[in-house]
Structures are given as structure tokens and as C-alpha cells.
Chains A and B, each alone.
Chain A
């Protein structure tokens, strides 16, 4: 590939406003051919906005864009960017779930048309997937809705590297590894090396600072719409990066006044041992239990089963042990919910097990915080305040009418506690950055009176500062007797847990207490201990 003299990309003085919010306040950026640039910064710093401008999906208010020596500042759009070789993999997936994988490849390439376009599209995407993610196991004829989140991300990343008429010069990866499992993330990183050797440049936006520093050549730190630091990656460490992002550690807030009703949620899960490892654990009030392992190995299913069991408990449903159509665990009748008064006491004795049924036993109310906020979390038409207080609507209502004053007060309290960055709680929730939206979902779970909080990887794509604030918030809640079951794909978060259960293929392969927690042990268990031993 002929080397252009000077940098491949040069952005100068880029400004962008969204109404009253100044997303970018004069940003300069250069990217050289064959280099990987890492961009870090906390939520709302402007990283995604900057990349959208570079990819042509958003017009800049002012500033200069020079690509491969050409000044393209005027009339720059997606088609122009694509023709100049700029590809972008966004944080929010850009696949159409109703289309097949190869049809999604077609969407990005206008030249895939005419007779036999299907064959060409299939070949194109299969080759790209084989290149970037060897042994991916994805069939180009599969409809995307049948793929897991990790597989969809793989397709989207591979698609960015596909070439038809225009060559690929720059691939922007916005939080790519947050939806990938560990193997795929590794493959992507090593492929980035091969791509760079070919002269392709990469932009890597991530909150995983260790990952960024290990793999990128240059680094850029953004804060509040400006570049605050930059240079070669080997001049930085994780600490110096966090410092330059200007994250202030919050003072420890006084814990909530002890409530008259003690929360004593407790949870027991038992699965039959004929599944690999089986699943058997208990969670008591005040504990944080972590679920680890590769994405899609049963952790989310378990959380959903616990949630379903809690629903049944809440309605006082009497269930006899039976196997549902998908072998779902049966429920156990617990104490019927009484209005006011104390719940609590030990879990009832385990039911006598007949046949192959396992069971989930729940005592207490449960809240669920999803990492997939678009489908399971956010009410997109509502404001921040409404999204926060919806789970406790019964508690702020009198005679069936919601007290707007209490609603607003509760929402503001939690906005301040979790430092949700929003000018007002009446702001439509979609106006917030992704990480702050996630904070609202966590606030919703904390604000309602749940005894057990299930976290399904809620801190994916959230910046370091926010994460630390949320870890501290979780710790404070456990002092009040709440317990947490926390599924996370980021092993570094497991230090917050009292106990970690590592999942592999639907069963638990290792139970690691806090003192014995090491990344190596988690990784080994993530791949199944049997796999570690030579067969």
C-alpha cells in the first residue's frame, strides 16, 4: 500500500454542539497510517461524538478534516468516508437482526448487487470472519437474531474489515471488547497487529485501560469535549491515565439511616449434578456473589431464573417440582408477601428432590439490572426521573396517585448519590451518555426496596470513574443487608465480590473465595478445568 506522506487523518479544531450541550470544544487529532490510537476518557467526554464525525455519520459544526492529504471538511458524509476507507464499529450494534449475516454484509457494500450477489456476500463475510476470528463457528446464512451478543459483535467487527471497491484505511472500534468474550477479544487484538502491518490504522476506544495500554501505539485522553493528554502509549500507566482524566475519588458518604425493617434476602440455587459441575450456591444478606466465565455460559440464564423464582415467591404461587418446557427450575413456595411487617427468617428446608428437577429458592424481593439497557432497561420515552423511580412507584404513591414531589425528590437523591451527569431529572433519558443511562438503571434497582439485586453485567462500557462510584455504592448497600448476585465479564470487577463462581457451559467449575481470587484461576475455570488438563 503506498505510504502517504504525513498523517493519514488530521482533524483540527472540531466543534460540536447538541442544543445547549457542548459535546466537542475544539479537538485536534492526528492518526498515522499503520498505527493504532487508543482514546480514553470518562463517559460524556466526547469520544463517540468525535468518532461519529470522523466516520461521517454526524456533521461537525466547525473544524477541519483532512484524510490522506485531502481536505474533506465540506460535504463530508458516510458515503465519502466509506469511499476514503474509513469504517466504524459503533458501541450500539449496527446489525439488522431480521437479516442474515451475509445480507448485513451487503448493507455495508453497495457494490454487492446484481446476479450472484449472495454468493459474493457470503464469501466476503466468511473470509473476513475467518481472518479476524479463526474458529468463529458463525454461518453466514444465519439470521443475526439467532446470534449471541458476542457473535453479533464479531460479525460487525469482521464486516468493518471487508473490502469491495474502496480499500480499508482506518477502522474505528468503539468499545469492541466489552461485548466479546475473552478469546474473541484476544483474537481481535492480535489481528489488529496484522492489520497495522498492512498499513491499516485503527482507533480503539475502551474503558479497559490495561488492554488499551498493552496494544495501542498512541494514546489520547479526552475530558468534557477536549483533549487533555496524548502521546505515545508507553509513556503512560493506568494510574497516570486515570489521573489525567481528572477523576476525583468521592468522599465516602454516610450510610443510610438504619431502617426499621431489616432486609434479609437470601437465595439458594441448586441444579442437578448431571450437568457439568452442576450449580449449587447460596447467597445471604449482605453478600456480594460474583458470576464469572466466558460470555454466554449460563450466567444470564441463572439470573433470569432467579428473577422468575422471585416473581413466583412474591405472588405466593404454589408450585410443585416439575420440569418446564426448557427444563426450567421449578419454584418453591416461600412465605407469602405481607404488607409491611418484617420478612425474614431462615430459608425453608429444601424440597425433597424427585426426578431431575433442580430448584431456585428465593426469600426476598429481587431487582434486576441489565447490561442490555436498550432492550431490558431503559424506558426510552421517559425522563431520567421517571426511569429512576418506576420500580418503587408503589412506595411513592398515596391512594393510588403518585406523589410527584416524592418522585422528584427520590430521583434527585439517587442522581446525586450516583453522580449521574444530567442537567435535570426531567431530561429525556436518551439524552444521556450510555454510561449515565446505565447509572440510572442501577439507581432504579437501589432505590426500590429490593432485598436481592441481580446485576447482569451492568457496567459494560462504563468509564472507570463511574465504576468506582458504583462499586462503592454496592458496598454501602451491602451494609444495609442487601445482597448482590453480580455477573460480570470483566474479571477485574470480581475483587468486589465476597465469593466468585466461575461458569463454563452452563455449570459451575470453580468457587473462589475473595482471598483466593486471582485472574489466572478465574481464566482457568472459565475454560473448564477439564480443558486445562490434557485429554
Chain B
């Protein structure tokens, strides 16, 4: 149990430090409005990270989650507004697409890295078909939802807490969640015990698809327009978020709370740099640097094997 706590402790401390620096530089951020503004764009990242976490739980990786978010974004900016029924159908098809991807990876024993990379081009192509140039109209209910102001807690924080809590409960505390995580570490054992690996992968990929759709919708609501290329950055950010949050690439070791914390860390890098007057051109480098730093510290804490 100690090891699991330690996994979340490190990123949590990093997050607290980053927030502390931000608040120190700009005390006005420490308000409802300030936090909302600061963390608004964390919502798509949180959903993308949660989706990535489901895939990483199976010891796979998803290189297409970013373009998938763009695709959902474009669907929201075109079909969902003009023809809602078709739009919803399209979103359901997107989730089904993820389920089929999971099934394909299992049935043909294909490496997920290759299949999801190929899928990323499929998502991008479909998005471009819908919206060759940025634009479109996002339905009002979606933009309203994205700018909803709950009374106590800023929306992005609420979303993060809900995603973390649900993830923690579903993956770490339910009986089937244990089986799902087992798929990532010893699939043969799970199969020998009579569970269907196909069903397990389809469940995990389906969950990732649903979370990806939510992320794309959040992105649409925040941007109030569609863009086929806007989601590209989310792929690597989501991977970094999950890993910084305490997960491992292999072995079915995931930390749902950590994925959300990692998403916030990744997002706040940009803000942190702005507040300490470093040009945002360094943002990507800073994100990479944080990833390396956290992994290095984690390795030190664990000691040599």
C-alpha cells in the first residue's frame, strides 16, 4: 500500500508546488474565477488522460487519442448542431470504433502502437472531411455546459474530481476492475481463470472511447468552434499525464487519481511559464522536462532493483 501512496504523492507534491509558485506570482488566480480560467482547458486533457489510462491499464498505448478528440470536436461543430440525431449517432459510432479497435488488437494480436497510430490518421481524415477548414457551429447547450459555474467548486476542478473518483472506484475498487488491471500484467493468468480477454479489452477500449468523446465535446464547448487539427497535441500530453501521475507503461499499474493530477500538471506548465515570464515557446520543453524529472525522482525513490 505504501508504494501506491508514494506513486500519487510525488505528482501531488509537484502540483502543489506549481500552484504555490503561480499563486505567489499572481495572487488573484486564487479565486473562483481565477482558478476557472487557469484550469478551464484542463477538461479535455483530463478526459484524454483518463482515456489513455484505460488503454495503458491493458499494457497498450493509444497514439490516436488526440486526433480522436479533434474528430469529436468537428462532429460537435457540424453534425451535432445541424442534425443532432445524426450527430449523436456519429458519436456512438466513434465509441464503437474504439471498441472495434480493441477487438482487432486482441483477435489478431496486433501491437496497439501500430493500430492506434493508423487509427489516428483515420480520425484525422474523417475530421478533415467534416471540416476542411476550422469553423462550424457548436450547439448552444454544449457551450453553456462548458461555461457552467457550479456554486462551490470551479467546473474544471469538479470535472477532475469526478473523473478521478469514478476512475478510482471503477478501476481500483470493483471486482471486474481488478480483472481488467490483471489483463495488463498477466493476461495468460486471467485467461486461465476463465475470463474473456476479448471482452476485457473491448471494455477498456470502449471506456477510452467514451472518455475521448467527452473530451472532444469539452474541447468543442470551450473553443466554440471546430478544428480538425486542434487535438493533435493531446496525444503525447495524455501519455505524459498518465505516466507522471504514477502509472507504468507495462504491467497494468495505473493510478486514476494520478492521471488527473498529471493532466493538471501538464496544463499548468504553460501557465507557470507565463507567470514567471518565460516565453511560451519553452512550454513543450518544460513539459518534457517535468516528465523526465518526475520519472527520475520516482526511480530514485524506488532505489536500484
Q: A residues near B, CB below 8 A?
A: 55, 57, 77-79, 82, 88, 90, 92-99, 103-104, 106-108, 110, 112-114, 117-118, 141, 143, 146, 325-326
Contact = CB atoms under 8 A, between A and B. Distances in A.
B179 interface: yes
A95 B178 CA distance: 12
Contacts of A78: 191-194
A107 B193 contact: yes
Interface stretch (B87-95, B181-189, B287-295): B181-189
A79 B304 CA distance: 41
B178 to A, nearest CB: 4
Contact of A82 (B186, B188, B194, B303): B194
A96 B303 contact: no
A99 B188 contact: no
Contact of A95 (B4, B181, B186, B195): B186
A307 to B, nearest CB: 13
B253 interface: yes
Nearest to A80: B194
Nearest to A112: B175
Interface of B: 1, 3-4, 173-176, 178-179, 181-182, 184-186, 188-195, 251-253, 303-304
A97 B188 CA distance: 13
A324 to B, nearest CB: 8
Contacts of B1: 141
Contacts of A103: 178, 181-182
A94 B191 CA distance: 10
The 3 A-B pairs at the shortest CB distance, nearest first, are namely A94-B189, A113-B175, A96-B182
B303 A90 contact: no
A106 B178 contact: yes
B178 A107 contact: yes
A94 B182 CA distance: 10
A114 B190 CA distance: 19
A2 B1 CA distance: 43
Contact of B179 (A93, A98, A107, A118): A107
A107 B188 contact: no
Contacts of B194: 77-79, 82, 110
Contact of B251 (A55, A94, A97, A141): A97
Nearest to A120: B175
B181 A106 contact: no
Given A117-B175, A143-B3, A98 B303 contact: no
A99 B175 contact: no
A78 B182 CA distance: 18
B8 to A, nearest CB: 15
B13 to A, nearest CB: 21
B304 A107 contact: no
Given A78-B194, A82-B194, A94-B192, 4 more contacts: A96-B181, A96-B185, A107-B190, A326-B303
A325 B303 contact: yes
A418 B199 CA distance: 44
A64 B185 CA distance: 35
Contacts of A88: 192
13 contacts: A55-B192, A94-B186, A94-B192, A97-B185, A97-B186, A98-B184, A99-B178, A99-B252, A106-B175, A117-B175, A325-B303, A325-B304, A326-B303
A99 B182 contact: yes
Contacts of B179: 106-107
A82 B255 CA distance: 32
A161 B185 CA distance: 23
Contacts of A93: 189
Contacts of A95: 186, 189
A104 B190 CA distance: 9
A77 B196 CA distance: 12
Nearest to A92: B188
A96 B185 CA distance: 6
Given A79-B194, A82-B194, A112-B175, A326 B304 contact: yes
A104 B192 CA distance: 12
Nearest to A326: B303
Contacts of A77: 194
Contacts of A104: 182
A98 B175 contact: no
B192 A96 contact: no
Contacts of B303: 325-326
B256 to A, nearest CB: 14
Contacts of A113: 174-176
Nearest to B178: A103
Contacts of A99: 178, 181-182, 185, 252
B176 A107 contact: no
Contact of A114 (B3, B175, B251, B304): B175
B273 to A, nearest CB: 34
B246 to A, nearest CB: 12
A97 B181 CA distance: 10
Contact of A98 (B188, B191, B251): B251
A79 B191 CA distance: 10
A96 B175 contact: no
Nearest to A324: B304
Nearest to B254: A98
Contacts of B191: 57, 78
B22 to A, nearest CB: 34
A300 to B, nearest CB: 12
Contacts of B304: 325-326
Contacts of B190: 96, 107
A396 B184 CA distance: 39
A523 B4 CA distance: 38
Contact of A96 (B4, B173, B174, B189): B189
B195 A107 contact: yes
Contacts of A97: 185-186, 251
B166 to A, nearest CB: 17
A227 B110 CA distance: 39
Given A79-B194, A146-B3, A94 B175 contact: no
Nearest to A118: B173
B253 A57 contact: no
A113 B174 CA distance: 8
